[in-house]
Amino acid sequence: MVKTSSPPSSQPTMDPSNPLQQLLLRGLGTTSLVTERLRWVSQEWVRSGKLDPSHASALVEDVLRALRGETPGLEEQASRQLERNRDQLLQDLGIPQQRELDELRGRIDRLEQSLRQLQSRGEPEP
């Protein structure tokens, strides 16, 4: 039995055993679904009067840019907000910040140095 080869396809074939290809295709599919859903939701908001029609497309584009990682300003803002939330949580839990610990270490070092100086002079400890 002789096998004949089919002409090469212009499109790459998907290898179901390639996890990287599978992940890429799932990511593209997810992005496509999110885009469709976002557009549908924004249209519903326009119909219900919750969103001005002139802002709907800008909203969709802003969200899609964020999903694609094209909004460094937004990422920086989110990072700063995350840091503030973390700092507030640590403060609420009573956990000192590194700066506060460093200040206390400095004070302890100065007190120990003063104590050593007093002891080397032979003066009684307070």
Could you tell me if 86 and 102 lie in one domain? no
| Predicted local confidence at residue 52, as pLDDT | 83
User: Quick check: 42 and 56 in contact, CB under 8 A?
Assistant: yes
Instruction: Give the total number of structural domains in the chain.
Output: 2
Query: Which amino acid, 96?
Result: P
Cα–chain center distance at 76 = 9
pTM tops 0.75: no
| pLDDT of amino acid 7 | 46
The predicted pLDDT at position 18 comes to 72
Domain co-membership, 122 together with 104: yes
Centre a 10 Å sphere on the Cβ of residue 38 and count the other Cβ atoms it contains: 16
Task: Determine the pLDDT at residue 50.
Answer: 83
Gap between the Cα atoms of 86 and 98, Å rounded: 13
Helix (H) or strand (E) holding 91: helix 72-92
Q: What is the b/e burial string over 94-110, where b = at least 16 CB atoms within 10 angstroms of the residue's CB?
A: eeeeeeeeeeeeeeeee
91 and 29 within one domain: yes
Question: Same domain for 64 and 108?
Answer: no
Query: For 82-103, how does the pLDDT look when each residue is reduced to its tens digit (9 = 90+)?
Result: 888 888 888 888 888 889 999 9
Provide the pLDDT for residue 6. Answer: 45
Half-sphere exposure of 110 (CA within 13 A, CB side): 6
Same domain, 101 and 91: no
- Residues of the chain with pLDDT below 70 are 1-16, 21-31, 69-72, 74-75, 123-126
Domain extent for 44: 20-95
pLDDT of residue 51: 79
Domain annotation covers residue 15: no
Type of residue at 115: L
Residues 106 and 69 in one domain: no
| Phi and psi angles of residue 10, each rounded to the nearest 5 degrees, phi first | -75, -20
